[in-house]
Amino acid sequence: MMLGDYQEIRDMVSKFADTEVAPLAASIDKNEKIPESIVKQLGENGFLGSYVPEEYGGAGMDYTAYSIIVEEISRACASTGVLVSAHTSLCVYPILNFGNEEQKKKYLPKLASGEHIGCFCLSEPNAGTDAGSLITFAEDKGDYYEITGTKNFITNGKEANIAVVFAKTTKTDNYKGISAFIVETDTAGYEVMKCEDKLGIKGSSTAQISFDKVRVPKENLLGTLEKGFGIAMNTLDGGRIGIASQALGISQAAFDYAKKYSNERVQFGKPLHALQAIQFMLADMSTKIAASRLLIWEASRRKDNNETYSLQSAQAKLFAAESAMWITTKAIQVCGGNGYTKEYPVERFFRDAKITEIYEGTSEIQRVVIAANELKDLK
């Protein structure tokens, strides 16, 4: 795609975000639910199947366009942004890239249209970052697999119709026995046990899911048997770009509001932005936003060009997430006591930003990935 195409996409998504999503952001946070009307519009506009080829019902864009979509939606509402990100990069992506033709034709059109929402079931109560320690087991029953176990912190878990589920098909104490499955959530034995009461992104459900002898047809094995760990890690590499884009959108929203407030708020006979201390904060915010965006674009460009991008996606997520926390903290500082109240949106931006340092791997995990890539040639 050409640069002009990306600007056209940004303008389109920005208009939708400003007119349809942003006015509902506070109520989404308060009511802890994204309206079905918004989800429907996300699908109708192609935002839930952005890089799905047109032959499978998608918009036929690329990953760079997807990162712009997540950024702009997250700028308006971080909860809605993460619904788009988790659905697209964690459920649609592995089916598109590791599914066979029958699986793609069966599942991608409804996922791309928003008729179905997807989730990614890897984490467990005792196996978060240490995915190799998961204990959910898929027993071979001849014509089907029977999955039993519990999954934790599943984004979109309450709403999902389709889940990409990771379970061991061989009882090992490491990642080598893990396989991936496409599970329809209306299957008997699949149950949403609870939804977490979270600090931020409150409109996005984060669920604990129980699998009690859930029968999964053999044809729903995703990829190759016992190669699920590779599918999970490959998926998370791309997912980090989406979370970085979410963090960037939150940062942009916080900066825009702080700048606006600094112009409207008068102290000592002049607007706040006339004070050098405020100018310095705004200057640093702007610089961190620009750097985050360039890191995301580089990771997306490499992914679109089929180049290695694990290092770049980790760098983008690390920097964008930590920048989001810094920027939202300073946005509250610019707004002073007002910024600490729920009457102003910057406290919501602050709460929403924190999760970007945690999911898809903590900032510390990103540093491990970056160091591993940078030091692999050393003896």
Query: Which residues are designated catalytic?
Result: 360
Helix, strand or coil, per DSSP, at residue 144: strand
Strands 178-184, 190-195: pairing is unpaired
Q: How far apart are CA 276 and CA 114, in angstroms?
A: 47
Q: How far apart are CA 319 and CA 292, in angstroms?
A: 6
Q: Residues 353, 317: contact at Cβ < 8 Å?
A: no
Tell me, what amino acid is at 249? G
Measured from the Cβ of residue 244, the count of other Cβ atoms closer than 10 Å reads 35
Element (H, E) at 333: helix 310-335
- Rounding to the nearest 10 degrees, give the CA dihedral for residues 26, 27, 33, 35: -110
Strands 162-168, 118-121: pairing is parallel
Q: Which two tokens stand for residue 83?
A: 């619904």
Q: How far apart are CA 130 and CA 116, in angstroms?
A: 29
Residues 6+ apart with CB under 8 A from 227: 179, 180
- How far is C-alpha 38 from the geometric centre of its chain's CA atoms? 17
